[in-house]
Structure 1
Amino acid sequence: MLESLLTQQQQLLEKLMQALQEEQQVLAERNIDGINAIAQQKNILLEQLNENDHLIEAHPKRQLLTSEPQLIAKRKQLTKMLSVCQQANTINGRIIKASSEEVEKLAHQMNHLMQQTSMTYDKAGRQHTASRHGKSFKA
């Protein structure tokens, strides 16, 4: 029973690794629908991993994880897989952050350009941003 829980944990981690790889691809493609779908998939997998982890922790023979060589090896393998998933998630987080910063910078540049193109001067020659273009017309 304990070994089957570890096998299930391995399968979930493999699915998570695949989801993280797919996430990296859709991030590169800037596929918003794909990003949202993978985020939901990742949340489900993380919940399942957490539930399975609690089952392993509550298992009456869990002490075998530190004494039986086969289970020790399996546990080490799972720990390595989890580390790979965490690294991939960190990389994807950096991609998201960089993309977000790029969008924010572009929005700032666009706002700056809008302000420059709507710049007018009053009777005294002072600059001001015209925000009422075409609003004073009555016809």
Structure 2
Amino acid sequence: MSVDNTPEQLLARQLSQLQALETLLQSEKDIIIKQSPDALNEVTAKKNDLLMAIQTLDSHIGQNRQFIQDKRDGKFSEELKTIASVLESCQKQNQLNGQIIQQSQLTVERMKTSLLESHSKTSLTYDSKGKKSGGLSSLGLKA
């Protein structure tokens, strides 16, 4: 980032980055629903890179004296409202994606438990967290 970026340019870049994050989060949701681990790894890496860029730019904006003065003078209120709105949308989408992942994990856990129960009711044991596991017979050990 060059030093001669105006506050307007910085805010426009920040809005652009947040809109890109919003799009990426929607893609992440679609990938989670389709259960595509390779694509999820790729989109997660992109999301992390974008979040780092957003954080860096936000820090730069927060230290920009011209921006601080202009904000005190009441400038950029519309731009900041738009940015806050997009940020809120990103936060909601990220929370929704987290809930989808959590539900998927619960479904997998239920399926695992069901498969273990049907495998052999006599070989079931419980681990330290109270979850069912396949006992010694699932390890190939014979007592």
Normalising by the smaller structure, the TM-score range is 0.7 to 0.9
Question: Are 1:115 and 2:120 an aligned pair?
Answer: yes
After TM superposition, list the pairs within 5 Å mapping 1:1-139 onto structure 2.
Answer: 1-61=6-66, 62-69=68-75, 71-116=76-121, 131=137
Q: Give the superposition deviation at 1:52.
A: 0.3
CA RMSD of aligned residues (A): 2.3
**Preserved contact between residue 27 and residue 96 of structure 1 (Cα < 8 Å):** yes
Q: Give the superposition deviation at 1:95.
A: 0.3
Structure 1 stretches of 4+ with a deviation exceeding 6 A read none
| Structure 1 residues without counterparts, runs of 5 or longer | 120-128
**Preserved contact between residue 5 and residue 56 of structure 1 (Cα < 8 Å):** yes
CA distance in 2, matches of 1:25, 1:9: 25
- Taking a change above 3 Å as real, the CA distance of residues 3 and 115 of structure 1, as seen in their structure-2 partners, is same
CA distance in 2, matches of 1:105, 1:66: 55
Q: Give the superposition deviation at 1:26.
A: 0.7
**Secondary structure class of the residue paired with 2:65:** coil
CA distance in 1, matches of 2:141, 2:74: 80
CA distance in 2, matches of 1:85, 1:41: 15
The corresponding residue for 1:123 is: none
- What TM-score results when the alignment is normalised by the length of structure 1? 0.81
105-114 or 86-95: which moved more? 105-114
Identity %: 27
CA distance in 2, matches of 1:135, 1:46: 48
CA distance in 2, matches of 1:97, 1:63: 44
- Equivalent position amino acid for 2:92 in 1: Q
**Preserved contact between residue 19 and residue 38 of structure 1 (Cα < 8 Å):** yes
Q: Give the superposition deviation at 1:108.
A: 1.1
Q: Give the superposition deviation at 1:68.
A: 3.8
Larger Rg: 1
**Secondary structure class of the residue paired with 2:113:** helix
Number of corresponding residues = 125
Q: Give the superposition deviation at 1:102.
A: 0.5
